[in-house]
Structures are given as C-alpha cells and as structure tokens.
Amino acid sequence: MVTPLLTDLYQFIMAYAYWKAGKHQERAVFDLYFRKNPFGREYTVFAGLEECIRFIANFKFTEDEISFIRETLPGSCEDGLCDYLRGLDCSEVELYAVPEGSVVFPKVPLLRIEGPIAGPHGGIGASKSCCIGGFDATSNVAAGRFFGIPLRGTHSHVFVSPYVAGNHHNQLETSTFVVMMSNF
C-alpha cells in the first residue's frame, strides 16, 4: 500500500502549522539512519531504496485522503490547506542515498531527503496489532483510516524549533503553534 497517509498524525498537524505560518515552502533536510545494528550483528545491508523512490515519484493525495485529513485534524482545517494538499507533489524533493545492497553501519545516514517542509510502512501493522492488544489509539493516519482506530498524537522535536529560541517568530506563528498544541 502506498499512500501519503503512511505517517503519524503529528506530521499533518505540523504541516498545517507550517502552512498557516507561511513556512511550508522553506527547505528542510532530513537524514535517515539507525542507532544500532539489529540482532546484535556487526553490520547491516541497506534495502528498500526502490520503494522510497516509488513513493516519492507517486506522491499525491486523493480527495478521499484530503477529506479524511480534514475530519481528523484537531480544531478547524481551512480550505486553503486542502487546496495546498491537492497540489502537493514531490517534484522539488531531492533524495540522496547509499546504493541498495550496500553494507551500512549505525549512525551513518542511509538517506538524505531535501525539500520543502511538509513531510513509510510497517506502522500500519504495528498499529493494528497494538489495538488488538489493548491500545485505544494510534498516531498512524493510514491505520486510523483503514482500521477505524482513533487517532492521537504527539509532536516532533523539529516542529518546535522554528518557534523558539533564536528564531524570530511573530504573533501569528506563536498563536498558531499554541492553538495546534492545545488540541493534544
């Protein structure tokens, strides 16, 4: 399954706040890495690059997905954000990666993604299993939509950065941040 909903709820809340504050076109850089080799091994082999490229190349919200996001976001979701999501694609995203099949090590970036702020898979199965095991909500938007699991979320530390210490923020940005965070 490939859908832009394969992410946590807080990613959409951050995207809404970035859009509201006019920061959604600012460039961001994200590095993907892991902290420890799995299974106590000495190294890991990198795989999955083809799926990442396919996801980026085909990234597009459907009307049903936009409607679901609108219903899910805390508070009110403005029409302008929905219009922005309708036109959103990854044409300005740059992806850098180690070659698939490479031997890789902890704390070394596997992927670097550069592009406008406004932000894949395994979370759906984990969310469903946790719900069956007694959890009452998930932060994974696709799992919420496909399995009817209530959505709850947190926020990313990167979300706070543009609004605090050393960053010149204005009243609109601060009030947008406070309103979005009060909905948790």
pLDDT digits (tens, 9 = 90+) for 128-155: 655 665 677 877 777 777 778 888 766 6
CB 43 within 8 A of CB 37: yes
The lowest-confidence range among 16-20, 113-117, 119-123, 148-152 is 119-123
Residue 119 · residue 80 · CB < 8 Å? no
Q: Is residue 139 part of a domain?
A: no
Q: Using the structure block, give the residue that is written with the tokens 């799926």.
A: 51
In-domain check, residue 110: yes
Q: Is residue 148 part of a domain?
A: no
CATH number at 82 reads 3.20.140.10
Structure tokens at 126: 């984990």
In a domain, 143, yes or no: no
Cut 0.75: pTM above it: no
| 51, part of any domain | yes
Q: Are the C-beta atoms of residues 17 and 176 closer than 8 Å to each other?
A: yes
Rounded alpha-carbon distances, angstroms, from residue 45 to 28, 105, 144: 27, 9, 32
How far out from the chain centre does Cα 15 lie? 9
Which domain covers residue 75, as residue numbers? 9-121+154-182
Q: How many domains does the chain have?
A: 1
